[in-house]
Structure 1
Amino acid sequence: MYQHARRTAVPLVVAALGLALLSGTESSARPTTSQPTSQSKAAQWTAAWAASPQTPSTGFTPNWSQEGFSHQTVRQVVRVTEGGDRARIRLSNTYGTSPLKITGATIARTAGGAAVDPGSVRHLTFGGKRSVAVPAHAELRSDAARLPLKPLESVTVTLYIAGTTGPATFHSQAWTDSYRADGDRRADHAGKAFKDATQSWYYLSGVEVGGAARSQKNGIVLFGDSITDGFGSTPGANRRWSDRVAELTRRPVVNAGIGGNLVLNDSAWYGERGTARFGRDALDQPGASTVVVLEGVNDIGFSETKDQPTYKPAPVVSAKELIEGHRALIRAAHAKGLRIVGATLLPLKGSDHWGANAAKVSAEVNEWIRTSGEYDAVVDFDKAMADPADADRLNPAYDFGDRLHPNDAGYQRMAEELARVL
């Protein structure tokens, strides 16, 4: 589910459901690498923010992923959902074809826009060095930086790239501004040099917080498509349903949504299929204990749309096929010892994803999620978000305007429903 893109379609890759999800992942990307230090070994880490990596593409709003960066500084603002006395970042070069050379990086408390609190600027190191090369198809963590942070506090990560990157691994829809400046501005606290902005994230795939006394694993990962990603929420306001869940539960919450993502098919625009990226984006988040899955509407809805080239080819998916995809996710989560919550698909009548097959399959899949007992718990968005006058339609009070995505009030309602079953 997503807004229209302006590119020629490439084929989707149909998942082979018979393949096992070893260690919770079937991804073609290489394993995450980390630079351990005495600090990081002593700390217990919790994922406090995340963004799922995507292939460089034109996207749905202007972004810099295809041009990449050259002798530039990119500054990105994120809100952490957990506090700690130290922090580290995770960088992703998952879709890069050559090493990503980061000349330097800083982390600081946000002061508004591109500005940071000057007293909080910390230069990050990687294996004790300020510069690092992230291998192609890999992710890498920084060393720990001593920076006390509070839950729901905004932090700013700044990357300086002296060379030329080529196309950049990114996350298309950030719903908040990221900034760019020429030259080395990693320690610039005023932010005035950052004159360019887009609403995407680049290379940054995680912020983790730590503390020597931390022992409880109670993090929540929301895994899904554009509804999880926050499409329809107010930009810059932190009103995605992941934000609302963090506010209500006071637990660490990370968002592993990708707009347009599918359970069963890869896409050049909408990320690797859910069964392939589940390990990397959800199960491998440190400190996570629970994963919530809300995905499948694109698998059944793309084939109903005749004039959207980025949806093509879009095979007609049966309830049995989609259920098998969900079962693969359940097996992978249980193999990792995580609790997994299934969310029913939201009502979608009247949207561009609606049609005879989508109506039939969504009803069958939702009934399986509710009654099969295969998920550890269920949150029933199909019923909670329905129009009282027509159960197949999204309640107008919660509708962003396309009869598919919630607005801010809808995301608040979703968070409240999930909080009841956590």
Structure 2
Amino acid sequence: MFRRPTRRLLAVALVGALAVPPGAASASERPPGTWHGAWGAAPHHPVPGNEWDGPNWSLDGFAAQSVRQVVRISAGGSRVRIRLSNAYGTSPLRVTGATVAESGGGAALRPGTLRTLRFGHRAATVVPAGGSTASDPAALPVAPLESLTVTLYFAGPTGPATFHEGGLTTTYRAAGDHLSDTGPGAFAGETSHSRYFLTGVDVAGTAPPLRGTVVAFGDSITDGYGSTPDTDRRYPDRLAERLTSSGRRLTVVNAGINGNKLLADSPCYGEKGLGRFRRDALDRPGVRTVIVLEGLNDIGGGGFPDFGCGASPKVTARQVIDAHRTLIRAAHARGVRIVGATITPMKGAQGYDTPANERIRDAVNHWIRTSGAYDAVADFDRALADPRVPDALRPAFDSGDHLHPNDAGAAALAAAIDLTTL
């Protein structure tokens, strides 16, 4: 019998494409003024909070309130801009004002770094229902792996908020307009772990120029479930650290969603990977390479009853492989490299671990490793597997549910990626 808290279980990993624009510059030819995604979150429907994921503010949205969100960017530059989404809003989103600054720790800002953001040279903007927008550039010199703070103020009611539930970073809320507060005082009362409306921070003005953006696309293992909150220890964070220390001039964007699936939409865990791939991966500024880790929730969650988050149909290995082929075709049509990550171990995970599911996982992984369909392979399965029980996570990498890697496991995933393939 499955209880509603299988949200924790489903929290793992649960197309069109455009041709390359004529005259588009190759990655090595991009000038310093080209935008690159330095941080990102994949948006999904508002959903209620719960006892295992904690509360969130998505259903009620905001009114006469300021929301302060801290992000760690993967590369530096001389200019920054933010990206906002109202993809799942039912009415226009009215943003009264926005600011960006270097983080001073917690809800505090570093003095002297506050910048007012504008949208078409105006302080306020309206994002249509189903739409998105980017701010004008703001002159703010930033360094790789630096934390920035974005504050949004909503004078009127927003309605339900397009958001990203698994933020793993503290977000702050305060009544009234606190866009320019450098101190944390007004934000001391209310916190959340989710992201609201904010889906990207881009950088430009780097010399030598950046070579491109790497998008980590996937489920909760990409999203970081199982890693320590407020420490930036997800595998894409650790990958950004490796790229920075190696001097490879690539940014990293995290496009994981807890519980996401390749083949089935969910009101809780986002649109299926096939449906959101273009928006969340291929449309990112400066995208050069996408790393795909998807399919575990399709396989392990197949046949779960609907707990209010959508059905979990059973899948075959062929269906999962065909979905991967669709992602590969979409990436190649845009001139983007695509790296396939093998599906990680699930032995001992409640509901996921069955002989039939393991056969499907093994078949998909064999195809990823041997077919040559992907431009390169990151063998996440072998990076995490217990040498004594290859279908299980190594105990030192297990966050406790036999499915999600802990901080050490996330570091092992990042280490398993050959940087030359990116």
**TM-score, scaled relative to structure 1:** 0.89
* Percentage of identical aligned residues: 52
The match for 1:74 among 62, 67, 76 is 67
Following superposition, the deviation at residue 42 of structure 1 comes to: 8.8
Following superposition, the deviation at residue 419 of structure 1 comes to: 3.7
The match for 1:229 among 220, 223, 227 is 223
User: Aligned residue pairs: how many?
Assistant: 392
Are the counterparts in 1 of residues 299 and 357 from structure 2 also a CA contact under 8 Å?
yes
1:185 aligns with 2:178: yes
The match for 1:47 among 31, 37, 45 is 37
**1:14-36 superposed Cα distances (whole Å, 9 cap, x missing partner):** xxxxxx52328xxxxxxxxxxxx
Aligned to 2:234: 240
Aligned to 1:157: 150
1:275 aligns with 2:274: yes
1:58 aligns with 2:32: no
Aligned to 1:346: 344
Following superposition, the deviation at residue 309 of structure 1 comes to: 1.9
Aligned to 2:366: 367
Are the counterparts in 1 of residues 117 and 138 from structure 2 also a CA contact under 8 Å?
yes
1:129 aligns with 2:125: no
The match for 2:169 among 154, 176, 183 is 176
Bigger mean CA deviation after superposition, 222-231 or 110-119: 110-119
The match for 1:119 among 88, 112, 116 is 112
**TM-score, scaled relative to structure 2:** 0.89
**1:193-212 superposed Cα distances (whole Å, 9 cap, x missing partner):** 01210000000000001117
Distance 1:180 1:116 in 2: 15
Aligned to 1:100: 93
Are the counterparts in 1 of residues 265 and 310 from structure 2 also a CA contact under 8 Å?
no
Distance 1:5 1:179 in 2: 28
Are the counterparts in 2 of residues 233 and 408 from structure 1 also a CA contact under 8 Å?
yes
Distance 1:284 1:314 in 2: 28
Aligned to 1:16: none
1:218 aligns with 2:212: yes
Amino acid at match of 1:50: G
SS in 1 for 2:211: coil
Aligned to 2:26: none
Aligned to 2:5: 4
Distance 1:370 1:114 in 2: 45
Are the counterparts in 2 of residues 263 and 296 from structure 1 also a CA contact under 8 Å?
yes
Amino acid at match of 1:327: R
Distance 1:91 1:206 in 2: 7
Amino acid at match of 2:126: A
Instruction: Name stretches of at least 5 consecutive residues in structure 1 with no aligned partner.
Output: 10-19, 25-40
Are the counterparts in 2 of residues 110 and 117 from structure 1 also a CA contact under 8 Å?
yes
Q: CA-atom RMSD, angstroms?
A: 1.9
Amino acid at match of 2:174: A
